[in-house]
Structure 1
Amino acid sequence: MAGIDFKLYLISDRSLVNKPCCDVLEAALAAGAGAVQLREKDLNIKEIMVLAEKMRELTKTYKAKLFINDRVDVALAVEADGVHLTQNSIPVAAARKIAGDRLIIAQSTHSLEEAILAQSKGADFITLGPIYETKSKLQFGPPIGVQTITKVKKKLKIPVFAIGGIKPDNLTEVLEAGADGVAVISGILSSTDVFGETKKYLELLK
């Protein structure tokens, strides 16, 4: 899909930062991050809307794409570029029925079977993981490894973004396995230099 013109997909997590969330994400955007997913599951809908509106302005300023986790209504309300659905969200087909062609629809997957299903239901791209061990993805079980990326890429035509424990020192291995890009949370947000760390990822993703 023409709208997926990025390789680094940054996912927000306020619990990892000790500054205002928007300030940290702006540092990554200033470094060249092409897409950000707003994913703050502890916030109520009103709080999410406020943050989403701020992020929409920021992403417009830096000409980056904004995705909203789970909430198709919020994504449409703030004119985000896309929505990111989990395995517990409304189905991809239902999201498409609501949004039409106004949103890019991403889907989280954790196995070959889930990846194939996501494509068949109309997802525009998927995240696949956890590839490596990471605290943020412990609930999804043991790491699935880079070999799963290769298996999935053989079956899918849509872009596959690897997620879970991806750092600059293992990113090349992930790309060699066939990933179209990477989704990152703590690898960037836990850094004391978000701008510099984002640049490291982008250099490797060229």
Structure 2
Amino acid sequence: MSAYCLYLVTDDKQDINTLINVVNEAVSGGVTMVQVREKSGHIQSFIKRAKAVKNILKDTNVKLIINDRVDVALAIDADGVHLGQSDMPASIARKLIGANKLLGLSIENEQQLIEANSLPLDYIGLSAIFSTPTKTNIKKQWGIEGLKKAMQISHFPIVAIGGINQKNLTDIIQTGVDGVALVSAICHAKNPKKAASLLRLQIQEAQIN
């Protein structure tokens, strides 16, 4: 199973205690990677939250990815960083984090997808597969057919993100995509452990069929 298989992206609007609980539960339920997001720009808060998540992931095989901020990733020695299109250029980020850390990049249209093939990346996040309440400024909705096309173009593993839930998950996994990134389906679940566990099971069944 790919390390990108069930990729949890944290909700930066949840307080640190909720964050710790969600990540603890989600890891117990079978998430394979965790990305810590913090959009407020408050670096001390970001470091504190990222450190808390790092403590949870210690002695697990679950990788810790920091959203946007290379400095935070370096400060806490995270496993990698995920960049958006308006963040630091991938080539500079790679020089700073070194060859052994994971580097992901959000891709929002076909031009970016083609350009990404020449960048020193480990994976891409394809956004948005479907529209979602957390992303109101969507450039493109890829849908299932767009995802299939992107997989033919990209040289890198693809993590699908945006509007993914139990209803559409099987169709997405059956494209052969490397993973799915989820926020609300796990972060906002009454029981994040159960939600993660059911999603992981659904992924495994979809891969077999």
TM-score scaled by length of structure 1: 0.92
Aligned to 1:135, what secondary structure does the other structure show?
A: coil
Q: Pick from 151, 154, 159: which aligns with 1:153?
A: 151
The equivalences for 1:80-91 within 5 A come to 80-91=78-89
User: For the Cα contact (< 8 Å) 2:12–2:39, is it kept in 1?
Assistant: no
1:23 aligns with 2:21: yes
Matched, 1:40 2:38: yes
Name the aligned partner's letter for residue 73 of structure 2: A
Say whether 1:59 aligns with 2:48: no
Query: What SS does structure 1 have at the residue aligned with 2:160?
Result: strand
In 1, Cα distance between the equivalents of 2:165 and 2:171? 10
> For 1:43-122, what aligned pairs fall within 5 Å after superposition?
43-122=41-120
Cα contact 1:165–1:187 (8 A) shared by 2: no
Measure how far apart 1:78 and its partner are: 1.0
The one-letter code matched in structure 1 to 2:94 is R
User: Which residue of 121, 125, 130 maps to 1:123?
Assistant: 121
For residues 96 and 42 of structure 1, the distance between their equivalents in structure 2, rounded to whole angstroms, comes to 24
For residue 138 of structure 1, give the secondary structure of its aligned residue in structure 2. coil
The verdict on how the C-alpha distance between 1:104 and 1:133 changes in structure 2, with shifts beyond 3 A counting, is same
Counterpart residue identity of residue 82, structure 1: G
Contact 2:10 2:183 in 1 (8 A): yes
- Taking the aligned partners of 1:52 and 1:10, their CA distance within structure 2 comes to 14
Q: What does residue 136 of structure 2 align with?
A: 138
Question: In the TM superposition, what whole-angstrom CA distance separates every residue of 1:158-186 from its partner, at most 9, and x where no partner exists?
Answer: 10111111111211111223321100011
Deviation at 1:142, TM superposition (A): 5.0
Percent identity reads 33
User: Which letter maps to 1:42?
Assistant: S
Which of 151, 168, 171 is the aligned partner of 2:169?
171
Contact persistence 1:27–1:195 (CA under 8 A):
yes
The whole-number CA distance in structure 2 between the counterparts of 1:17 and 1:204 is 29
* Cα 1:156/1:141, change in 2 over 3 Å: closer
Q: Give the Cα separation in 1 of the matches to 2:127 and 2:176.
A: 13
C-alpha separation in 2, matches of 1:146 and 1:20: 33
User: What is the CA distance between 1:17 and its match in structure 2?
Assistant: 7.4
Q: Are the counterparts in 1 of residues 108 and 140 from structure 2 also a CA contact under 8 Å? A: no
- What whole-Å deviation, never above 9, does each CA across 1:17-73 have from its counterpart, x for those lacking one? 795211111110111211100001115111111111111111114331100011111
Tell me the CA shift for residue 116 of structure 1. 2.2
Paired with 2:105 and 2:140, the residues of 1 have a C-alpha distance of 19
- Residue 5 (structure 1) shift: 2.2
Q: 8 Å contact 1:188–1:197 — kept in the other structure?
A: yes
Q: 1:69 to 1:188 in 2, by over 3 A?
A: same
In structure 2, C-alpha distance between the alignment counterparts of 1:162 and 1:188, rounded to whole Å: 15
Name which of structure 1's ranges 12-21 and 125-134 shifts more when overlaid on structure 2.
Answer: 12-21
